Each structure stands twice: as C-alpha cells, then as structure tokens.
Amino acid sequence: MGIDRRSTLEIIRIINREDRRVPSAVAKQLNNIARIVDGVVDALRAGGRVFYVGAGTSGRLGVLDASEMPPTFGVSPLMFQGLIAGGSAALTRSVEAAEDDEESAVRELMRRGFSRGDVLIGLSASGGTPYVLAAARKAKQIGARVFGITCNAKAPLLWIADCAVVLRVGPEVIAGSSRMKCGTAQKMVLNMISTASMIRLGKVHGNVMIGLQPKSRKLRDRAIRIISQVARVEPDVAGEMLRRSHGDVRCAIVMARHGVSRHRAKSLLRRARGDPDKVATIVGRGRLGDG
C-alpha cells in the first residue's frame, strides 16, 4: 500500500523484493514440474503434440514459448502450439472479453486436430479462466492428458488437470496485475517444461543446442562454434560441414567427426536415433554404409 507515494528507487526496490519470491515458489513445485515434463516427453515420443492454452498474459507466454521451439531445437512448429483467447490479435493488444468465450476455445482446439495422443497445458494465474477450463474439459473428454499452471491453490483448473503446478507467489505489487509475479513464475515454469523435454528427447548435446536452425548470421556463427566444439575441428572446417549439411548441425557434426557424406551422416543418425555420440558405436562395429 502507498506505493504511489514512493520515490522511483523505492518503487523499484519493492518490485525487486517481491520478485525474489518467484524462484522460491517455483522451487516448491519441482516434483510436479518433473511429472509434467515426463508426460510431455512420453506424448512427443509417441508422435503427440503439446498445446499451451491461456488468455491475456498467460496466453502470450504460451505462444512465446511455443514459437521459440523450432529455431532453438529444430523441431516442427506443430510440435508445440500456443492457443490464446482472442486469437493473434490478442498478442499485441488486450482482448479481455475473449477469455470468457468457451466455444472458441473448443472450436480452435478441434480445428487444430487435437487428439488423445496430445497434451494440453492450461495456463491461468487465477486457474478459473473460462477459455482455459473449456479447452481442458474438452481435452479430458477426448482422453488426452491435461496439465495446469496456476497461482491459485483453490483454482477450478486443479479439479480437471491430471497434474498441476501451483505457484504461491503471494499478492502482486499492484493488486490484480498478474502479469507481474504470476507472469514471471509461469514463464520460468514454461522454460523448464519445454527445455527439459527437449533435453530428454536428445535435442541437446552436453549443454549445446545441436538442433538449432541457423537462419541468421548470429545463429550461423553459433552453429559453427557448436560443430567445432563437439566434433573437435577448426571453425573453418565446421563452417564447411555446415554448408555441406544444408544447415543441419547434427548432421554436420557426424560429417566432421567421421569424414562421411551428408547422405551417410543422415543414415547413421537415423540408426543412432539422432544421437551423434552413438554414431561412433555404429561406425566402430563396421556398419558404416549408405543405409
């Protein structure tokens, strides 16, 4: 209370002090986050997809996380999808009434072919957003796994979800402004879920992103550094392998390590289920060939 009568520095200090509560709230939910990651990994391995569903800030965070998966890990843009109440218009401006539109949530889910092999993750600070609850109920009706992320321990979403993360971040600095601590906490959890899932699926080697898509100068330079580091070759060699692999970092690593063509590298990676390290075992057994 009274934050409107504080100096700029005092306001910032108050916000910073409150933000420190977020990591602690997330840490208390690590077991549930891990359960969600395991569910996501199982679904993705079986060919399923992940749908983030939210409204307002929560919806924007879901769309943001989903949109970052293809360039970061080289996966299909269909693997992670974000549904936001109000559609694309709600990404850049507030469409408040859209969060009450239950029919549009179900309609959009069905338009995207949601099935029982997919996973739905409902995002709602209050845990009672009609748009999110309608989508969650539909997903359960279909037989899909449903998870939730909320900041309300009494959220209706908890009664629908198979597993939910409840982030007890406390009251916001500005009453009701869930874009603050609630938004920060949800962003942290989404980062954990998507990143840990990609690690479990072999999209990370050591701690580098071997699935990234080098579509900009910055990402191309990063790809070359990754190939050079993992394959232990000079940067100029790494750059040439990246060119010959048509921008496929994983393929370029195998080409550089084993002196094989792009075609053979891809064949070897298929046998090794995408793991460059396992390719060495296949080569060592004399199984190198055109596949």
Q: Do residues 223 and 234 lie in contact, with contact meaning Cβ atoms separated by under 8 Å?
A: no
- Flag whether 289 is in a domain: no
- Flag whether 160 is in a domain: yes
Torsion of Cα atoms, 128 then 129 then 134 then 139, to 10°: -80
In order, the DSSP letters of the chain are --GGGS-HHHHHHHHHHHHTHHHHHHHTTHHHHHHHHHHHHHHHHTT--EEEEESHHHHHHHHHHHHHHHHHH---TTTEEEEETTGGGGGTS--GGGGG-HHHHHHHHHHTT--TTSEEEEE-SSS--HHHHHHHHHHHHHT-EEEEEES-TT-THHHH-SEEEE----S-SSTT-TTTHHHHHHHHHHHHHHHHHHHHTT-EETTEETT----SHHHHHHHHHHHHHHHT--HHHHHHHHHHTTT-HHHHHHHHHH---HHHHHHHHHHTTT-HHHHHHHHHTT--S--
pTM, two decimals, is 0.89
The reply to whether 93 and 208 lie within a common domain is: no
Domain-terminating residue out of 179, 200, 221: 200
- Flag whether 9 is in a domain: yes
Q: 3-state secondary structure string, 143-178?
A: CCEEEEEECCCCCCHHHHCCEEEECCCCCCCCCCCC
- Flag whether 290 is in a domain: no
Number of domains in the chain: 2
CATH of the domain at 81: 3.40.50.10490
pLDDT tens across the length of the chain (291 residues): 899 999 999 999 999 999 999 999 999 999 999 999 999 999 999 999 999 999 999 999 999 999 999 989 989 999 999 999 998 888 888 777 788 788 999 999 999 999 999 999 999 999 999 999 999 999 999 999 999 999 999 999 999 999 999 999 999 999 888 889 999 999 999 999 999 999 999 888 888 888 888 989 999 999 999 999 999 999 999 999 999 999 999 999 999 999 999 999 999 998 888 888 888 888 876 654 444
The reply to whether 184 and 223 lie within a common domain is: no
Q: Do residues 242 and 252 lie in contact, with contact meaning Cβ atoms separated by under 8 Å?
A: yes
Report CA Rg, the chain: 22
Domain that holds residue 277: 204-284
Query: What is the rounded CA–CA span in Å between residue 59 and residue 51?
Result: 11
- Flag whether 136 is in a domain: yes
The reply to whether 51 and 163 lie within a common domain is: yes
CATH of the domain at 241: 1.10.8.1080
The reply to whether 10 and 116 lie within a common domain is: yes
The reply to whether 269 and 176 lie within a common domain is: no
The reply to whether 107 and 178 lie within a common domain is: yes
The reply to whether 210 and 180 lie within a common domain is: no
| Phi, psi (deg, nearest 5) at residue 189 | -70, -40
Catalytic annotation, residues: 68, 99
The reply to whether 125 and 77 lie within a common domain is: yes
